[in-house]
C-alpha cells in the first residue's frame, strides 16, 4: 500500500506511519513557507529563485503523496526530505532576516535613533 492510502489508513500503533505523516507535514510546511515569501527576498539573500524552491519542494511533496513516504526504502522520499531540510535551515533564516521576521526581537525593541536606550 502506498501513496495517499498509506496516510489515510489510520495505523496509530505503527511508528512508521507516524514518521510518514511527520515527513509529509514537514514538507508541506516548507512548501507553503517557500510559496508565501516574496520573490525579491530570495534574490536579496543570494539564494536560488522562489520558483526553484517551490518547484523542488512541490515535486518532493507530490511524489510522497503519489508513492508514499517510505523513508527507509525510497530515495525519492529521502531526497525530498534533504531538500526540505536545506530550505528550512539555510534559505528560510536568510529570507526571514531580510524581511524583518527573524532574529532576536529583544534587541530591536529598545532601540532609539542612536542605539539602545
Q: What is the 3-state secondary structure (H, E, C) of 48-76?
A: CCHHHHHHHHHHHHHHHHHHCCCCCCCHH
pLDDT per residue as tens digits for the range 4-47: 666 666 777 788 888 888 999 999 999 999 999 999 999 999 99
Read off the pTM: 0.76
Give a yes or no: residue 56 inside a domain. yes
Give a yes or no: residue 95 inside a domain. yes
Residue 89: what pLDDT? 97
Is 7 in contact with 24 (CB distance < 8 Å)?
Answer: yes
Given a cut of 90, whether residue 73 has pLDDT beyond it is: no
Give a yes or no: residue 113 inside a domain. no
Give a yes or no: residue 88 inside a domain. yes
Separation between Cα atoms, residue 115 and residue 106, nearest integer Å: 13
User: Which residue range(s) make up the domain with 41?
Assistant: 4-100
Separation between Cα atoms, residue 74 and residue 11, nearest integer Å: 20
Given a cut of 60, whether residue 104 has pLDDT beyond it is: no
What is the 8-class DSSP label of residue 37?
S
Residues 6+ apart with CB under 8 A from 91: 34, 42, 45, 47, 48, 53
Tell me how many domains the chain contains: 1
Give a yes or no: residue 18 inside a domain. yes
Amino acid at each position: 500500500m502506498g501513496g495517499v492510502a498509506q496516510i489515510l489508513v489510520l495505523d496509530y500503533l505503527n511508528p512508521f506511519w507516524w514518521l510518514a505523516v511527520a515527513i509529509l507535514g514537514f514538507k508541506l510546511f516548507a512548501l507553503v513557507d517557500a510559496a508565501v515569501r516574496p520573490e525579491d527576498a530570495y534574490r536579496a539573500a543570494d539564494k536560488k529563485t522562489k520558483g526553484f524552491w517551490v518547484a523542488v519542494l512541490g515535486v518532493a511533496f507530490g511524489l510522497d503523496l503519489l508513492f508514499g513516504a517510505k523513508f527507509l526504502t525510497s530515495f525519492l522520499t529521502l531526497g525530498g526530505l534533504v531538500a526540505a531540510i536545506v530550505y528550512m535551515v539555510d534559505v528560510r533564516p536568510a529570507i526571514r532576516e531580510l524581511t524583518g521576521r527573524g532574529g532576536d526581537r529583544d534587541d530591536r525593541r529598545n532601540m532609539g535613533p542612536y542605539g539602545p536606550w
